[in-house]
Structure 1
Amino acid sequence: MTDEQIIRYIKGELDESERTEVVSWIKSEDCNFRHFSKLQLAETFREMEHEALSDEEAKERLAAAGWPDTANQKWKKKSGWLSIITRIAAILLIPLTVVGVWTISRKNGQIKYLTESTNAERIIPIQDAASSTYIVHPGVQGDVILPDGSRVRLNSASTLKCPDRFDEQARVVELSGEGFFEVEGNPDWPMYVKTSKGLTVKVTGTRFNVSSYENDPALKLTLVEGSVMVIHEATDRQYKVLPNEEMVFYDGRPTLPHKQEVDVLPAIIWKDGILLFENTQMPEVIKKLERWYCVDIIPQDPAIMEMRFTASFESESLTRVLQLLKITSKIDYRIEGKQVFLTR
């Protein structure tokens, strides 16, 4: 298999039979998969570095969205910046296409490929005798069907571990990162979603989202339907969550959660490939962009971290998003390999 064929596959330039040939080659050996991953990452960053949106193109995009003449617009720094970003939210879009380089251990397992109809690229089960670990790398999402038929949508940079078969007493899985769960109902057969933050979610049949990244200061659970109990493992204290409620457990204060009624859509819209910010603090914005794009974003002006951001993203390159931010907020950027430097 030549690099030229692989790159044409990455760009979507092959016909069905050629695509099948490349996929078969990728799946045949671990070394083939690693080589494909390296080429895909290199091609993605080559596109990012050369796809900059010109000022005129950005202004045309803004004008098409109903934004007034940008040539004479005087941008304000904080409240003005937020207002501008709010008004262009409908046209800012981000893809889930960047795939990092990783090494897999197949042992008795196999690579699982998702169907082309989904936004996700792939997830990788690493099998042992009793369980499977599903790893979703930065820049992609993945779907997992659990042994009982329950479904989990995993967000970028997430890991889910589950047994190959659930026992008769309980269904236990372990999550690091973010997942949207659709659990098959059975009040006599509860599911426990364990997290690395010392909190376990107990459910018997429900739809909910839980975010528990190791580098985040909190666990956030949002319930769509049904009911769940969150168990603090160290004290056995339990907290009930009802539909349209969100409960946040902060590191250092795990027994003093914050619960409120919310519109659940912003918490679960990521599973449809949409990255949504609503007056979000810049440190949180940066973390999410890093996960979705597999890059390191480095702000070089402390004032940037004081900003808040409101926007909705789907199906645009990182370079185009950064270019629009440059036009509207005077946040400049520089891309060097996998690092993005932000300045003012």
Structure 2
Amino acid sequence: MDLYDENIARLIRHSLIGELSELERGELEAWLHDSEEHQVLFEKIKKEIRISSERSFFCSLNDEEAWQKFKIATRERKQRVYIRKILTYAAVIVLPLAVVAGFWFLNQEKNTPPMASGRVAEITPGKSRAVLITADQIVHELNGLQEQREIEVGNGMVIKQGGANLEYDSLVVPVQEAALAMNTLKIPRGGEFRLKLSDGTNVYLNSASELKYPVCFDEKERKVYLSGEAYFEVTKDSDRPFYVETEELQIRVYGTEFNVNTNQPGKVHTVLVNGKVGVKKRGMTGEIVMKPGELASFDRKAGTFEVKEVDVRQYVLWKDGYFTFENESLEQILNTLSFWYDVDVFFQSESAKQLVFTGYMKRYSDISEILDAITDVVGVNFTINGKTIIVSK
């Protein structure tokens, strides 16, 4: 049976999502027994794809067209000098009319050749690090390797830090005094950190982000100030509403899980996982009440909101160590990568910014592996010089 039989793509997909019929199961087993290479390919795909959380991606693929594109891409890769006998990754590509989009499964194969570029070694994935600035302007450098310790944040108030976690839940101080003491947690490009506020609310802060918050909330409300991206798991408290304020928006929280991102070009994204939030432009009356599974996109230039249903995993899996892109432009994708890998991006072609890519990959992968996958799918070229990525067509 041909390694690249169009029917195999459908059989593999149905197998991974548990929808194989008995007849299909027999066909797939025959294909697997036909060649050791078939078995290796299938096992690699199973290992890398977290099918429980990516079911919607598989179900949306056009089997025949995607497999045809995979055949072409694989055959071309076999002609390269660095090609290995065992496939190092599988790429399934969908090509709708004028838009290029792809779904790519990233493998951590050590033998994968690096992309032809400049000094790639200087670019590394982000890690747990942050800067804590206390009310009295004392600066504390934090990282994920530090053991459990206590940090004084002013007037005898002490918090705990261990690894990538900072906790304010053990304070024993007068509420009024603590509420006046504002702390700031800054996450540099190439960093991430987790914070537990005094009310038990958990905050996951992404790269190039900053959160300003009181050491202890007062008895009337809970308010924090965000720049960048953060995922909130807010502790319910009907007597004290929780507010997240950005430069443009105020988000009223009713005890819920949601993600806010001000780092998108020209946009502020609020995504609700569960519970209920109200979003409004600062200084305005009335708010948009969101439902779980919705994205509220605020256009900075127009000053307007667009609310739509989305697959929330695309917006929140960063906190679990994954990049998820679904029909996103290269401009958006490279913007995201620039924060995590602490790099600058330069597009030589404006049209390249609008090319579209869909993919799911590990956040801690070498950046060259991610860029190679995008190149295979959309056909752009990446040149790396130091910590600058140049994109050309």
Q: 2:315 — aligned with what?
A: 267
Residue 97 of structure 1, aligned match among 90, 113, 125: 125
Task: Note if contact 1:100-1:137 (Cα within 8 Å) is conserved in structure 2.
Answer: no
Q: Is the 8 A contact 2:327 2:357 kept in 1?
A: yes
| Equivalent position SS for 2:217 | coil
CA contact (8 A) 1:96 1:141 kept: no
State the match for 1:6 in structure 2. none
Contact in 1 for aligned 2:199/2:217 (Cα 8 Å): yes
Change (3 A) 1:260 1:116: farther
**Shift in Å, 1:100:** 12
Could you say which residue in structure 1 is the equivalent of 2:275?
Answer: 226
Deviation sequence 1:298-334 (CA, Å, 0-9, x none) = 1112331231111122132112322343444432222
For the pair 1:332 / 2:370, whether they are aligned, the reply is: no
The aligned counterpart of 1:82 is 100
Q: Which of 206, 227, 230 in structure 2 is aligned with 1:155?
A: 206
User: Residue in 2 aligned with 1:174?
Assistant: 225
SS of 2:140's partner is coil
Q: CA RMSD in A?
A: 3.8
Gaps of 5+ in 1: 1-53, 69-74
2:338, 2:345 within 8 Å by CA — same for their partners in 1? yes
Query: TM-score scaled by structure 1?
Result: 0.69
Indicate conservation of the 8 Å contact 2:88/2:107, yes or no: no
Structure 2 residues without counterparts, runs of 5 or longer: 1-78, 110-122, 148-162, 168-178
Aligned to 2:17: none
Q: 1:142 Cα shift?
A: 1.0
Q: Which residue identity lines up with residue 187 of structure 1 in the other structure? A: S
Q: Identity over aligned residues, as a percent?
A: 26
Q: Residue 257 of structure 1: which of 295, 305, 309 is its match? A: 305
Which range moved further: 155-164 or 224-233? Answer: 224-233
Paired residues of 1:100 and 1:294 also in contact (CA < 8 A): no
C-alpha distance 242-328 of structure 1, shift in aligned 2 (>3 A): closer
In 1, are the aligned partners of 2:327 and 2:356 still within 8 Å (CA)? Answer: yes
Report SS of the residue matched to 2:317: helix
Contact 1:92 1:313 in 2 (8 A): no
Within 2, Cα distance between the matches of 1:235 and 1:101?
36
1:318 alignment counterpart: 367
Selected match of 1:63 from 87, 91, 100: 87
Shift of 1:144: 0.8
Query: Counterpart of 1:111 in 2: which secondary structure?
Result: strand
1:293 aligns with 2:341: yes
Asked whether the equivalents of residues 125 and 365 of structure 2 are also in contact (C-alpha less than 8 Å), the reply is: no
The answer (yes or no) to whether the contact 2:131–2:186 under 8 Å persists in 1 is no
Q: Which one is further off, 152-161 or 104-113?
A: 104-113
Alignment of structure 1 residues 1-16 onto 2, 5 Å: none
Q: 1:38 aligns to what? A: none
Normalising by the residue count of structure 2, what TM-score does the alignment of the two structures yield? 0.61
State the partner residue of 1:210.
260
How far 1:111 moved relative to its partner? 3.1
Write out the 4+ residue segments of structure 1 that deviate beyond 6 Å after TM superposition. Answer: 75-78, 99-106
Q: Which structure would you say has the larger RCO, counting Cα contacts within 8 Å and 6 or more residues apart? A: 1
- Single out whichever of 262-271 and 186-195 deviates more from structure 2: 262-271
Instruction: Please give the secondary structure, in 1, of the residue aligned with 2:314.
Output: helix
Give the count of matched residue pairs. Answer: 275
AA paired with 1:338?
K
**CA drift at 1:280:** 0.5
Secondary structure at the aligned position of 2:191 is classed as coil
1:299/1:343 contact within 8 Å kept:
yes
What CA distance in whole angstroms lies between the structure 1 residues aligned with 2:377 and 2:85?
12
Q: Give the Cα separation in 1 of the matches to 2:105 and 2:370.
A: 11
Native 8 Å contact 2:260 2:271 kept in 1: yes
Q: In the alignment, which residue of structure 2 is the partner of 1:192?
A: 243
Structure 2 CA distance for partners of 1:334 and 1:67, relative to 1, 3 Å: closer
Matches of 1:290 and 1:193, distance apart in 2: 25
AA at the equivalent of 2:183? S
TM-superposition CA deviations, 1:190-210 (whole Å, max 9, x none): 11100012x111113111111
Q: Distance in 2 between matches of 1:264 and 1:151?
A: 18
Look up the equivalent residue of 1:82 and give its one-letter code. Answer: V
Contact 1:153/1:271 (<8 A) preserved:
yes
Change in Cα spacing, 1:123 to 1:159, as seen in structure 2 (3 Å) is farther
State the one-letter code of the partner of 1:282.
Answer: L
Q: Distance in 1 between matches of 2:283 and 2:341?
A: 36
In the alignment, the residues of structure 1 paired with residue 185 and residue 351 of structure 2 have an alpha-carbon distance, to the nearest angstrom, of 38
Give yes or no for contact 2:129–2:164 (8 Å, CA) kept in 1: no
Structure 2 CA distance for aligned equivalents of residues 245 and 99 of structure 1: 29
Cα deviation, 1:215-249, whole Å, max 9, x if unaligned, reads: 63121111111111113222222111121222111
